[in-house]
Amino acid sequence: MNKKVAVILSGCGVYDGAEIHESVITLLRLDQRGAQVQCFAPNVTQHHVIDHLTGAEMPESRNVLTESARIARGQAKDARELRAEDFDALIVPGGFGAAKNLSDFAGKGADCSVQPDVLQAARSFAQAGKPIGLICIAPTLATQIFGEGVSCTIGNDAETAGALEKMGARHVECAVEDIVEDEQHKLVSTPAYMLAGSISEAASGINKLVDRILEMTVQEA
């Protein structure tokens, strides 16, 4: 029986939403491995809109769920509908949207909070003992999902790693092509574009993360 995996997106675009390469690599690898996938996103106004050509903030408003549906080819659901009992695992790609729309880490650092619908959904997977994959900057959500003592990686960026540890996480330095697994919490993380200089480098770690998440679902079966 094919495994069912939920993917939480945070918009569309590295500077104000989900990192598109990371999201597509995740979805592609899941499909290659025969998993059934459903994308979700919070139905909220995104933090702000960035012109990805110039880097300037734009005077407009966009919805995180609507933008996420661009990546999901229209097949995105409200995070409020996400239930752990319907899936075998959860994966969250990175991009600044994870730190701006799924949480306010980009503005508040270690004092951040996670968007309530996303937090409730992610915690339901943790409480059910189902594996979770966090990619790129998304591990900044880890302590609020699992509590203090969780192990994860964002690569080797000292400032972000310091904020993670201030929140109570144990940061583990990791090369772009590798993953960090917290066996106790069933959490897998990888740096992706926190370190990657190319799409193939990002894919090297993401593919390992997806493969490991799916292996963990088999072990739990």
- Active site amino acids: 136
d(CA 9, CA 5): 13
The DSSP call for residue 103 is B
- From the list 26, 1, 152, 8, the residue with the least C-alpha distance to 83 is 8
Question: For the chain, how far is it from start to end, CA to CA, in angstroms?
Answer: 11
Element of type H or E holding 125: helix 116-127
Per-residue tokens: 72 = 């999901």
Per-residue tokens: 63 = 């919805």
List of residues 6+ apart from 73 with CB closer than 8 A: none
Neighbours of 86 (CB within 10 A): 10
CA atoms within 13 A on the CB side of 69: 13
Q: Which neighbouring-strand residues pair with 33?
A: none
d(CA 175, CA 190): 8
